[in-house]
Structure 1
C-alpha cells in the first residue's frame, strides 16, 4: 500500500492529523506491520519444503495429537452470492460508509477469495486447503440476525447473517474438514424449535455476540433457552468484552459484553465459553478472572483464547496471564478467530518479540507462514508463545473431547 493511501485509511479509522514526525513514530509502533505489509498476498497454501520442515513449525506439533486439534472459532462468511442465505448489511458494501467498507475488504483479503467465482464458494474452498494438522478440524460459526425484546427481527441493525442451515450444509458436505456451531437469538419466537433443529443437524454448540445481536445474557427472556440448552447438553460460546469487528445493534447493547452477565446462564447449568477470555476493553478481563475464580463455576465456565494476541489488547496482559496461570489451562479452548489472523496488521509479530513472547527466529518463520496459511500460522504462534518458561499446555489445543463429550481428556 502506498504511503498516501495508507494515510487516507488512517484518517478513515480516526488517526488523522499526522505530521511527518507522527507518521515516522507510527512506523515504529506496534501498529505498523512487519515488512510494511498491509495486505495478505495469499500465497499457495502448500508450503515450500524449506518452510514446511522448519524446526519452528515441526516443534509446534511436539506433544500434540492432531486428531484432537479442533479450532473452535472460525467465522463462516460470504456475500450471499449463492443460495447460502448469507446476508451482509449494505453499509459494508457502500463506499460512502468508508470505514465499514474497508473493514469488510480486509476480511475478504484475509480469506483469500479467488476472483472469478462466488465469494461464498471461494471462502470455503480456500479454508479447505488450510491444513493445520492431520485429522484436525475447524468449527464454523453461524451468525443470527439481531432481534428486539418482542422477537421482531432488526434487519437494519444486523451487520451480517450466516444461516444455521448453511453451516450445517457445509459440515454435511465436508465432515472431515468442518464441524459447526449454531447461532440462535434467544428472543426469537421459534428459538426453542430452532435449537432442537440445530441439535438434530449436528451443531456442537451455540454462538452469541450479544453486543451485535442485541442479547442481554442476564435477561429473563433467555431463561427458556438456557433450560433447553441444558436439556440438550449443548454449550454456549459467548463473546464478552468490547467488540470492534462487528457493529453493535444499538448503543445500549455495548453493555451486554459485561462478562458477569453470563452468570445467569451458568446458574442454569449451561456450559459457557467466554470468547477471547473477555480480553478487550477496560476491566473486562478482570471480571473474567473473577468468574474463573468462583468455585461453583468450575466445570461450567471456560475461556476461548482466540484473538488474544491481536494488537488491540493493551500490553498483552491478558495473554500473559492465561499463559502463566497453568491451573487454568484445562479450562481454556483453542480458537483462531479466522479469517482475522490473515489480516496482517492485526497481529504484530515485532511487538510480541519486543515483549519476549517470541524469539527473532520464530518471528521470521511466522511472518512467512502467515502469507501461506493463516490457520497454521495462528496455531504455531500460540504454541510458541512463552512467558518466562511457561507455554500454553497441549490440553488447550486438544479440544475435540470438549466439543464432542463436554469434558477435557
Structure 2
C-alpha cells in the first residue's frame, strides 16, 4: 500500500531515537498499520551537528520546517522541537491543512493546547501527545479513552524524574539539596540549567495536561499552583522520616466542590510529605508514577521511566501507529473532550494537612501562645514535638532556642497561610524554618 509519509521536526535525543526505531522496526510497524511508514524529511536547526550514524539519507535534512510541513506528500507531522514558538505556528498550520500531528511538547500543550485542538477540529486531523507526560508510561490514552466512561476524582503523581532523583538521594544519604542536585547533574538526570525541573515548571505543565484529560476541562499551566523543591532541607527529610513519611514533588489534580458547593477543579504542584505506606512513596530514582482515583474503576497506578530518548520515542511510535491507521481507513480520533468546562478552584480552598517547623524562644508559655494562633484561624493541631537546645533526640533551634514541630489536621491553604503570617509577628517566634504539606494519609 501507499506509504504514510512523515515530517520529523527536530532530531535531538528523542528525534534520533524515533528515526532509529522507525528503521529497526519498519517491518513490524508496517504490519501493524497496514502500510509502511516513510520519512519525507527531517527539519533541524543546524545541518552540521553530529547525530551519530543515523540510517537515513542525508538529503532528507532541511532547515526549513514550514516548507516541509506544507508539502503535499506529507501525511503526519512529528514534532520533537519543544517550546511555544515557532512550534505552535508549525503545528497549527499542519493540523488546519489536514495533517495529523504527534508531539511531545508539554509546554505548548499546557500553555495553548486549545489552539492545537481547535486546529485539529478545523482540519479534521488527529492530535496525539502520549509522550508529553511520563515518557513511555501509557497514561494519557487511559485517561483519554479507557476511563472515558468513568468519573475521575483525583490524579496524584510524580511526573518529574530529576526532582524525584534529588529527593530520593536526600532521603537515602542525608544530603542537602545542593549536594543532591550536583549528583543528579553529574549522572545526567539534571540539565545544566535545572530551573524548569527544580522550580516545578515541568511538573506544572504535565499537571495541566493530566487535569484537562481527567476532568474534561481546559486547564493551562497558569491555572496550576506551583512550588519547587529548592527550599526542602535535610532537616525536612529527617523530620519526614521520623513521622514515617518521605518527601516527593507531587502533582495533585482533584475534582470536587468549591466553597459554594459548585463542582470545580484544583491543580497544584508542590513538595509534600507522604506516608511510606502510600504507593508513590517507594517510587525512587528518576522513575515516574501516577495514581488515579475514579468512581467505578477505583484506584489505578501507572509506573515506569518518565524520560529519556528511548522511552519517549516508544510513546511517539505508539501514537504514530494510531494516527497512521486512522489515515488509512479515513477516520480520525474523537475531538477534545472539554464539555465540563469546570472552574478552577483557588489554591486558598485546597485542603490538606501541614508540617510546620518553628524556631522559638525557650521559655514557659511558648506552646500555649503558638497554639492560640492556630486556634484563632480554626487550624486544629494533631501533634507537637518540642525540644530544647542541646537535646540528643529532639529538634534543636538556633542560638540556644527551641524548636516546635507541629503537624495539623486538615485545613484550607488560606487558613494555614494566615496562621503562618500571624506566627511571624510573635516575638517568641525567631523564625519559621519550614512549611510542608502532608498528603495521602488519614486526615
Q: What's the TM-score once normalised by structure 2's chain length?
A: 0.29
The answer to which structure has the higher strand fraction is: 2
TM-score by length of 1: 0.31
Q: Choose 1 or 2 for highest CA Rg.
A: 2
Which gives a bigger RCO, structure 1 or 2 (Cα 8 Å, sep 6+)?
1
